[in-house]
Copies of this chain bind each other. A is one copy, B any other.
Amino acid sequence: MENFKYENQTKIIFGKGTENDVGSLVKEYGSNVLLHYGGGSIKRTGLHARVVKSLKAAGVNIFELGGVVPNPRLSLVYEGIEIVRENKIDFILAVGGGSVIDSAKAIGIGALYPGDVWDFFTRKAKVEATIPVGVILTIPAAGSESSTSSVITKEEGWYKRAVGSPVMRPKFAIMNPELTLTLTQYQTACGIADMLSHVFERYFTNTKHVDYTDELCEATMRSIIKHALMVTNNPNDYNVRSEIMWEATMAHNGLLGVGREEDWASHAIEHELSGIYDIAHGAGLAIVFPAWMKYVYNHDKDRFVRFANKVFGVSVEVDMDKTINKGIEELENFFEKIGLKTKLKDVKIDRLRFEEIAKKATESGPIGRFVKLTEKDVLEILNLAYE
């Protein structure tokens, strides 16, 4: 096990009706709040009205900025920063999924930084402080409600880049599974692929003697898979939605990665895909991960045999490759079962820009830690992912 530090300040408020407590929670941190959200579904469902009511009852001044899209854009972040500065906003409330939260986090760090907020994403500047952010979560997927990171897409050149800092963890996350009952199967499935991938990035490690976190990762993967299949048949089941919502948070609050080297190459590759083609992040991960696994598994066959066995119940055969490939096949079958594609050609992405994508993904050097991937490696993985 490696030395580690772990700290998580996010207060979780989980369960039915919890969004009605938002006013008093926000009031602890500020009195001028930026209410940040997406395309307006929160207005249709009545959530927006309930939130505004609670905030007003707490005596908080409300400023609004909607319009966050999946793969959230830098231009809207700039807009948010302006609003925060002009109105002396002291708290940002994100109501939505990972995109809205990531956008709120970027506004929060950008508002206190005199330069261009994009500097944080290109490593020109380091995050030191933020306007506090709180969350009402509506999509279990990204884990951003309790994570240290934000991923933003810069339209100029379609760069999708991440930044992280412990100060960026939200102050609170209100998580009411009832709010997720209206998600479509496709939204749900993309979320499932995202949370599962967050565990993969931590599970495939070169660090030895991390048995306990291995067990926790496996428990999390098995549970996500089990509940994903259940929710596909029973989308209105509050109990299953609850399990999934909490799994998404645990998958990315950092606890499954303590003391371990993590990978993150597949996320880097997927970010190039969704940056350019604007596909859903989870949909992209369901395609990239099986291909990544096929390409790297020789590096540590024992771990991939364990994965096949412990997560998918594949019986361990003498032929390790057979066991491993069975495991990867089970993963692909699982993604297909919940309605995701596992090949690039099936989401209408052709081979034309593979070289450009491989180059862009590795422009700051090789990616990944389990296996370090060069431009050539990424190209091979894209080819494996094609059909």
Residue of B nearest to A210 (CB): B243
Interface residues on A, range: 35 or more
- The stretch among A10-18, A85-93, A120-128, A327-335 that forms the contact with chain B is A10-18
Cβ of A364 under 8 Å from chain B? no
Does A19 touch B at the CB level, under 8 Å? no
How many copies of this chain are found per oligomer?
2
Task: Flag whether A383 is at the interface (Cβ < 8 A).
Answer: no
**B3 and A239 contact, CB distance less than 8 A:** no
Q: Is A8 an interface residue (CB 8 A)?
A: yes
A69 within 8 A of B: no
A258's partner among B11, B239, B246 (CB-CB below 8 A) is B246
For A316-328 the 0/1 string (1 means CB < 8 A from B) is 0000000000000
Query: Contact at B247–A227, with CB atoms within 8 Å?
Result: no
Complex Cα distance, B9 from A211, in Å, reads 25
- A348 interface contact, C-beta 8 A: no
Residues of B within 8 A of A216 (CB): 216, 219-220
A260 to B3: give the CA distance in the assembly, Å.
32
CB-defined contacts of A10 to chain B, threshold 8 Å: 7
Contact flag A259-B14 (CB < 8 Å), given A1-B243, A212-B246: yes
User: Are A242 and B1 CB-contacts (below 8 A) given A223-B215, A227-B211, A227-B212?
Assistant: yes
Q: Using known A-B contacts A211-B227, A212-B246, A219-B215, determine if residue A16 contacts B4 with beta carbons closer than 8 Å.
A: no
Which among B7, B11, B208, B259 is the interface contact of A11 at CB below 8 angstroms? B7
> Does chain B have a CB within 8 A of A294?
no
CB neighbours (8 Å) of A209 from chain B are: 239-240, 242-243
A112 → B minimal CB distance (Å): 21
